[in-house]
Amino acid sequence: MSLTGRSLVSIDDLSNGEIEALFSVADKMSDSLSNQSGVCQGKIMASLFFEPSTRTRLSFEAAMLRLGGRIITAVEVGATSLAKGESLADMARVVGSYADIIVIRHPWEGAARVVADYAGIPVINAGDGGHEHPTQALCDLYTIKKERRTIEGLKIALFGDLRYGRAVHSLTYALARFGAIILFPPSPGLEMPEHVLRKLTTEYKGKLIRLEARDQEVKKGLFPLDAMYVTPSSSHQLAMLPDISIQIELKKTGIDTLYVMRLQKERHAPAEEGQELKKNYPVVDKKLLKGKEFKGTIVMHPLPRVDELAYELDADPRSMYFKQAARGVPIRMALIALLLGTKEITISKEAASFVQKVDYPIYDRDSGVRCLNSNCVSNQETETRYIKPEFKIVSLEPLTLGCLYCEREVHPQYIASSEWHQGMLETKKYHSADSHWIRKIKPENLIIFDSESEAGAHGFKPSSYITAHRRGR
């Protein structure tokens, strides 16, 4: 198997075996950075950063320059034809004819997927809104492996803004696949999105243990917890310990990695802004790390930091965030070279696949169902001219759709079947999504509506159950 010509939009675009092979290439390049200048000679990378960036942009550009390639760049939407109303698809086609590989950061969730669909050359997602940041996850995994030699069985705590932290979303998926135990401390209003947690249990098959309100000593301990994810292959004692025993076990065995995220205030809605979130935001400092469970913990942060990570920790040997940033160059060098095919790796068919992939039915009918995420690329006026909403049907009870672009979930209220009505008005009925009909309609025949008005606009009439329910209100 080869990575040549492929794109990296999500961390799940690479198997575990491919990630391990990429790390091996990064190791070799790291040992001789100055000797890599012929690897990508004659190749051009388009560096498209439509959101602010320091580390990611410069590390990608440094990586390409060290490989002997060249760079063309655009750093502001206002300085490009996107500001004139050009679509991402048109931009991707044009830039794809100028360069050999594209690296893009964009505020719209799903933008990198659209560019990858139309560019005709490899595309790397350098962060799409609050969705994913797969190359940061690669840097994070690489650092953990360098410092801990393994990931399987490690206890890794994710601290801070888990709701909008795109880097931590990609990292969470990768950690689950590599067999880590993931700890979720409380972060009121900033909890990990439900679609991320659902993926942990449905695609990676592990167990998510949510600590109930009664487990107060766990939730309010020195290192409080709201939830914990345990991989299916883990035989670790934590998997079998309920309630207060979890806290005791953590004090005894310790936390291997503390991954800190800043408050992603640029992605918060205006109503969420204010002093309350900032006032209650967790801070990692010497006082916290005095706890027995942190004695052997490494502290990581994707940077930039604001107030959540004390400067006093910079000299602490447990702090890894500057090493983490430095390792971004060899990781991105390896990735660029592998996607361009200027470096080859041999990966067995088994290593190139991972069993967690779930083949969800796809829903792409134009029946009025829309992603509720206003920042999703499928909701942008310039893009709706050529793309339409598409969803994975991730659950039937309750009916849950996952947007193919941003992965946010939608819970529609009404359903119908294309098989039954056959164009006849008397059988063209719609039903409640929580009725028994959801189990009887085949996915390929399923028609889904956001509202009764949308169902009516498509010529469907309410079923007798819905009519009776209206009367009873």
**327 pLDDT higher than 50:** yes
User: Higher confidence at residue 267 or residue 27?
Assistant: 27
Sign (positive or negative) of CA dihedral 244, 246, 251, 252: positive
In the DSSP assignment, the letter for residue 319 is B
pLDDT, residue 5, reads 96
User: Higher confidence at residue 425 or residue 386?
Assistant: 386
* Residue 452: count of CB within 10 angstroms of its CB: 15
User: Higher confidence at residue 451 or residue 243?
Assistant: 451
Percent of the chain with pLDDT over 70: 85
| CA dihedral angle for residue 278, residue 52, residue 380, residue 84, rounded to 10 degrees | 140
Percent of the chain with pLDDT over 90: 55
pLDDT, residue 348, reads 67
pLDDT, residue 380, reads 94
pLDDT, residue 354, reads 57
Please compute the mean of the pLDDT values over residues 415-440 and round it to a whole number: 79
Q: Which of 403, 336, 369 is nearest to 114 (CA)?
A: 403
Sign (positive or negative) of CA dihedral 149, 333, 325, 117: negative
- The 10s digit of each residue's pLDDT in 366-416 is 888 999 999 999 999 999 999 999 999 999 989 999 999 999 999 999 999
Q: Which of 143, 198, 192, 127 is nearest to 164 (CA)?
A: 192
User: Higher confidence at residue 463 or residue 279?
Assistant: 463
Report the distance separating Cα 190 and Cα 268, nearest Å. Answer: 10
pLDDT, residue 214, reads 46
**465 pLDDT higher than 80:** no
In this structure, the strands spanning 391-396 and 362-363 are antiparallel
User: Higher confidence at residue 110 or residue 217?
Assistant: 110
Query: Are the folds of 11-131+326-340 and 135-323 the same?
Result: yes
- The 10s digit of each residue's pLDDT in 74-129 is 877 765 667 778 899 999 999 999 999 999 999 999 999 999 999 999 999 999 99
- CB of 11 closer than 8 Å to CB of 132: yes
**35-71 per-residue burial string, b: 16 or more CB within 10 A, e: under 16:** ebeebbeebbbbbbbbbebebbbebbbbbbbbbebee
Q: How confident is the model at residue 246 (pLDDT cuts 50, 70, 90)?
A: low
Q: For domain 135-323, which CATH number applies: 1.10.3720.10, 3.40.50.300, 3.40.50.1370, 3.30.200.20? A: 3.40.50.1370
Q: How confident is the model at residue 352 (pLDDT cuts 50, 70, 90)?
A: low
Please compute the mean of the pLDDT values over residues 356-364 and round it to a whole number: 83
- CB of 168 closer than 8 Å to CB of 260: no
Residue keyed to tokens 């079947």: 417
CA angle 388, 359, 394 (to 5 degrees): 65
User: Higher confidence at residue 156 or residue 368?
Assistant: 156
- The 10s digit of each residue's pLDDT in 36-58 is 999 999 999 999 999 888 899 99
Residue 368, CB-side half-sphere exposure with 13 Å CA sphere: 19
- CB of 37 closer than 8 Å to CB of 66: yes
User: Higher confidence at residue 415 or residue 266?
Assistant: 415
User: Higher confidence at residue 297 or residue 465?
Assistant: 297
As a CATH number, domain 362-472 is 2.30.30.20
**222 pLDDT higher than 60:** no
**81-110 per-residue burial string, b: 16 or more CB within 10 A, e: under 16:** ebeeeebbbebbeebbeebbbbbbbbbbbb
What are the extents of the domains in the chain? 11-131+326-340, 135-323, 362-472
- Residue 429's DSSP bridge partners are 461
Sign (positive or negative) of CA dihedral 161, 163, 165, 168: positive
Please compute the mean of the pLDDT values over residues 220-231 and round it to a whole number: 75
Report the distance separating Cα 222 and Cα 251, nearest Å. Answer: 9
User: Higher confidence at residue 233 or residue 259?
Assistant: 259
User: Higher confidence at residue 308 or residue 95?
Assistant: 95
Percentages (nearest 5) of helix, strand, coil residues in the chain: 40, 15, 45
Q: Which of 179, 143, 109, 134 is nearest to 6 (CA)?
A: 134
Q: Which fold has domain 11-131+326-340?
A: Rossmann fold (3.40.50)
* Residue 189: count of CB within 10 angstroms of its CB: 11
pLDDT, residue 119, reads 97
In this structure, the strands spanning 298-300 and 257-260 are parallel
Lowest mean pLDDT among 138-142, 219-223, 377-381: 219-223
Q: How confident is the model at residue 467 (pLDDT cuts 50, 70, 90)?
A: low
Give the residue ranges of DSSP H helices in 79-150: 88-98, 111-119, 134-148
In the DSSP assignment, the letter for residue 460 is -
The radius of gyration computed from the CA coordinates of the chain, to the nearest angstrom, equals 24
